[in-house]
């Protein structure tokens, strides 16, 4: 796998995030500019009714690297991400939340992971070096249970599959299509398909903080069966498809490396 300069697209799905979106976009610009990264920020207005789209279009008027599209799909996190994946122009794409719960500084680490030749950059909030701030206790317990279950089923050694904040090279996004998830279950569909189809990834520590404005769009009551469906769907592909969807230029084993620093080596 060859490294080299990449253009990074940052897709930010945003539903009624008028109070957070300016800081999210602005701090992302600062961090990527400081690192000298070629980038674009693609905000997807997910049926917002609070002027989120107009705010971003105002930012875009002053910075050509910022673009805003109104999602042409029905409302839903997964739909909004899928809309963003139809519009981005970079060599790689990172999915980032609009509420500034994800740290823009971690985008730089993701970029270095991809630049070194990995197909995917996965963050962990719960491994060595990762941390969370003000994570709701009930949500934390459920998160750990779900991730432990996913880790057991797929034996991939990764403890934060449900985290939406990840980055992928373009060829990975192309090869995990079609995406089926319309809601937050997309956060597990994308990485699990990448893993079972044989794409390389590095796991790096990232930080997370609870939103300061607005309310979370994730409804745990609604998402349980949707998560279960998509996890079982990919698990069945992994065990029953006989490698029909697996990339054919790799040996039949998973590839993972946990790294702490941007200076990475490739694990074939």
- Pairing between strand 38-45 and 66-70? parallel
Pull the structure tokens for residue 43.
């905000």
Q: Which of 98, 100, 121 is nearest to 8 (CA)?
A: 121
Instruction: Provide mean pLDDT across the span 175-181.
Output: 97
Model pLDDT for residues 98-146, shown as the tens digit of each residue:
999 999 999 999 999 999 999 999 999 998 999 999 999 998 999 999 9
Cα pseudo-dihedral 27, 30, 32, 36, rounded to 10:
180
Residue-wise pLDDT tens digits, 73-84: 999 999 999 999
- Three-state secondary structure call for residue 207: strand
Q: What is the pLDDT of residue 158?
A: 97
Q: What percent of the chain has pLDDT over 70?
A: 87
Alpha helices in the chain (DSSP H): 21-34, 52-62, 77-87, 104-115, 137-154, 170-175, 186-196, 220-240
For the domain covering 7-258, report its CATH number: 3.90.550.10
Q: Is the dihedral of CA 238, 240, 242, 246 positive or negative?
A: negative
Tokens standing for residue 190: 């994308």
Structure tokens at 208: 């997370």
Kindly report the average pLDDT of the chain as a whole number. 90
Using CA atoms of 128, 116, 118, 133 in order, give the dihedral in degrees to the nearest 10: 30
> Prior bond to 131 cis, omega within 30?
no
Share above pLDDT 90 across residues of the chain, in percent, rounded to a whole number: 82
* Domain range summary for the chain, segments of one domain joined by +: 7-258
Per-residue confidence band for 232, with pLDDT thresholds at 50, 70 and 90: very high
What pLDDT is recorded for position 49?
Answer: 97
Would strands 92-95 and 131-133 be described as parallel, antiparallel, or unpaired? unpaired
Q: Taking 60 as the threshold, does the pLDDT of residue 256 lie above it?
A: no
pLDDT reported for residue 243: 86
Query: Taking CA 205 as the corner, what is the angle to CA 202 and CA 208, rounded to the nearest 5 degrees?
Result: 130
């Amino acid at each position: 796998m060859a490294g080299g300069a990449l253009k990074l697209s940052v897709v930010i799905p945003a539903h009624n995030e008028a109070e957070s979106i300016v800081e999210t976009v602005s701090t992302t610009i600062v961090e990527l500019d400081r690192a000298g990264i070629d980038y674009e920020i693609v905000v997807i207005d997910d049926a917002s009714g609070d002027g989120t789209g107009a705010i971003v279009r105002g930012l875009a008027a002053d910075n050509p690297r910022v673009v805003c599209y109104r999602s042409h799909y029905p409302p839903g996190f997964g739909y909004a991400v899928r809309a963003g994946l139809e519009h981005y122009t970079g060599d790689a794409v990172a999915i980032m939340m609009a509420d500034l719960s994800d740290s823009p500084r971690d985008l730089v680490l993701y970029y270095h992971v991809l630049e070194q030749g990995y197909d995917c950059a996965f963050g962990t909030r719960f491994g060595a070096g990762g941390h969370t701030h003000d994570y709701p206790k009930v949500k934390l317990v459920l998160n750990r249970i779900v991730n432990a279950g996913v880790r057991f089923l797929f034996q991939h050694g990764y403890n934060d599959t449900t985290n939406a904040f990840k980055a992928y090279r373009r060829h990975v996004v192309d090869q995990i299509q079609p995406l089926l998830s319309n809601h937050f279950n997309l956060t597990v569909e994308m990485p699990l398909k990448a893993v079972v189809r044989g794409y390389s990834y590095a796991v790096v520590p990232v930080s997370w903080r609870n939103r300061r404005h607005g309310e979370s769009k994730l409804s745990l009551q609604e998402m349980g069966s949707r998560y279960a469906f998509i996890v079982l769907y990919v698990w069945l592909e992994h065990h029953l498809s006989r490698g029909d969807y697996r990339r054919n230029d790799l040996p039949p084993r998973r590839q993972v490396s946990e790294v702490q620093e941007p200076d990475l080596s490739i694990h074939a």
